[in-house]
Structure 1
Amino acid sequence: MAESANQNTERTDYLDENTLKAVETYEKLGTDNKLALLYYVYEKMGDSVTPADPTAAEPELSPVLMDSFYNLSHTDQLNAMRDIVNCADTEYSRAYGALKENNQLLVWFDWAERMGDTVVGMPSDYNVPESVNTSLGQIEALEFEQQITLLREIARGMGHTDVKPIPTQTETGKTSSL
């Protein structure tokens, strides 16, 4: 998993068993299947998947992802999305990696809303593999809070950043002082 500026705990510290299994299933998917899963998740928002609160995000924080991205060719958009999923060191992946999870979720939500129009859509010949259906089923079976936690976990595991997590007391052997 990519390192993220807001990653200060191990995921097993805060994920319940079902959410952890869903994250692990997602992480086994290939890049394009991860993108497909995100598309299907956002397609089902409000139906079997709970949307994140858009008021918790700040879209103006990422003009690269929310403005200039839409001027790219669909091929370049797909490549930028792949770079983000793969945590590549690129302009778009760095812009994404600099965001907090709620803003990262907003980026994916906005892109999903525009898919097939100003954002590259699903290929008409895409055959959904069983692994994507399995992962989607796991997400749909989660409760509201678990779905949001899962989506945040997925979102924060993407993008590139050079910021490292703050070492824990256990790692440093030092106690914090005020």
Structure 2
Amino acid sequence: MTYTATNPATILNNQAVDVTSVTARFQRLSTDDKLGLLWVAYTEIGRSITPAATGAARLQFAEGILNQVKQMSQDEQLKFMRDLVKKVSTPITRAYGTLTNNTKLAFWYQLAELMESGVVIPVPPYYKLTQEANNALVAIQNLDFNQQITVLRNAVVDMGVDPLA
């Protein structure tokens, strides 16, 4: 699947693009738009995210959560992902909340890999980003690599439930 937008300058209304505004754009999306955007972002720019995400993270701390997700039905997997985004307090979203920022980034990369391989519920082949989600994707793509990683990290850090909060 290829996701592109025509005339990104028009979509961004010639506004200065920075990490804060792009993160805010992501945060305004619906739950399913956030999940769709993460999927597309990881498939479109994921190959360059891999070293940054997994190299800095202690993914072994996320393995237990990933293994639990693998054991769920596809409906339960989708519910889990939606619960993470909506910050619904469950044992598994609280476990996610204890992960470090970089481990959360690596977790989502691994989850996308599992989705791509079919182990976790995949995004339907007919899926298309909404206009709002596509605009956010274009904004992310217009950032430099480090800024892209920061926006994605900001997006996934804000998910789940911190049991200590």
- TM-score, reference length from structure 2: 0.82
Q: Secondary structure at the match of 2:162?
A: coil
- CA offset at residue 50 of structure 1? 4.4
Look at both structures and tell me which one has the larger radius of gyration over its CA atoms. 1
Q: Mark the runs of 5 or more structure 1 residues left unpaired by the alignment.
A: 1-15, 165-178
Change (3 A) 1:134 1:62: same
Q: Kindly, what percent of the aligned residue pairs are identical?
A: 32
Contact 2:53 2:105 in 1 (8 A): no
Q: Deviations over 1:12-48 (max 9, x none)?
A: xxxx96111111111111001100000001001257x
For normalisation by structure 1, the TM-score amounts to 0.76
Structure 1 runs of 4+ aligned residues shifted over 4 Å read none
Richer in helix (by share) = 2
d(CA) in 2 for partners of 1:162, 1:56: 23
1:160 corresponds to 2:131: no
1:47-73 deviation line (CA, Å, top 9, x unaligned): 7x6442412111211343221210101
Give the root-mean-square deviation of aligned CA atoms. Answer: 1.9
Residues paired across the two proteins, number: 148
Note the C-alpha offset of 1:153.
0.9
Please name the residue that 2:61 is paired with: 61
After superposition, residues 81-160 of structure 1 pair within 5 angstroms as 81-116=81-116, 117-160=118-161
Deviation per residue, 1:99-157 (Å, 9 max, x gap): 01111011100110121500111134433211111010000100122111111111111
